[in-house]
Amino acid sequence: ETGVTQSPTHLIKTRGQQVTLRCSSQSGHNTVSWYQQALGQGPQFIFQYYREEENGRGNFPPRFSGLQFPNYSSELNVNALELDDSALYLCASSPAQQTGANVLTFGAGSRLTVL
Amino acid sequence: SQQGEEDPQALSIQEGENATMNCSYKTSINNLQWYRQNSGRGLVHLILIRSNEREKHSGRLRVTLDTSKKSSSLLITASRAADTASYFCATDGTDKLIFGTGTRLQVFP
């Protein structure tokens, strides 16, 4: 059983650029959530995908968008990067779309630096 | 926004000592989870306690929940250097977990 894998692990972008982060969910998991974790803070919920549809979104602007594919993998896209977007981006998968009852399995994260 | 606030923000202890960290949250919950994070990497689930439970154990971990005070505590007994990490509580929100601000635990050999 493979866990959650994310790529790339580190990347550096400049302000105004666009970035795509990728995530493969754990085998048997069909729900993927994305979190942003700024340095020294707890993870903040960006959005969740279930059956290829966005299902729940946190307080993030529309330039944060995502996709989920038929194999349950997912992408997070951020357009028009700002300096404050520098953070660790965490992908987590869970077995089903349930409200909070599921335990999340996290990937190791993608660390984005915006210069 | 953060639902939970952990206290203390940072904790330093010697190996063999117990470590206690607390979490306070704002709204009613169905369950509360604790996660651990090593050096800015991914989070690992430790334990889940439901709102109708008051205490739960898992190995060297003991979690308590007081819904009347909207608070939880995580106790790590007989700590080891390998327990050095950040610990987060997380409460259930609509379709998401809401994480606290975390406690950074340093265990010295």
Find the closest chain B residue to A108 by CA distance.
B42
Nearest in space to A49 (alpha carbons), one of A35, A30, A64, A63: A30
pLDDT digits (tens, 9 = 90+) for A82-107: 999 999 999 999 987 555 467 899 99
Min Cα–Cα distance to chain A from B39, Å = 10
Are A112 and A23 spatial neighbours (Cβ–Cβ below 8 Å)? Answer: no
The shortest CB-CB distance from A101 to any of B31, B88, B101 is to B31
Chain A residue with minimal CA distance to B91? A100
A2 touches chain B (CB under 8 A): no
Quote the strand ranges of chain B, DSSP E.
5-7, 10-14, 19-24, 31-37, 43-50, 55-58, 61-66, 71-76, 85-93, 96-99, 103-108
Q: Token pair for residue B13?
A: 């202890």
Write the pLDDT tens digit of every residue in A37-73. 999 999 999 999 998 999 889 999 999 999 999 999 9
Using the beta-carbon criterion (under 8 Å), do A101 and B30 form an inter-chain contact? yes
- pLDDT attached to residue A102: 72
**Tens digits of residue pLDDT in A20-47:** 999 999 988 899 999 999 999 999 999 9
CB contact under 8 A, B93 and A105: no
Instruction: Decide if B43 and A106 are in contact by the 8 Å CB cutoff.
Output: yes
pLDDT for position B2: 53
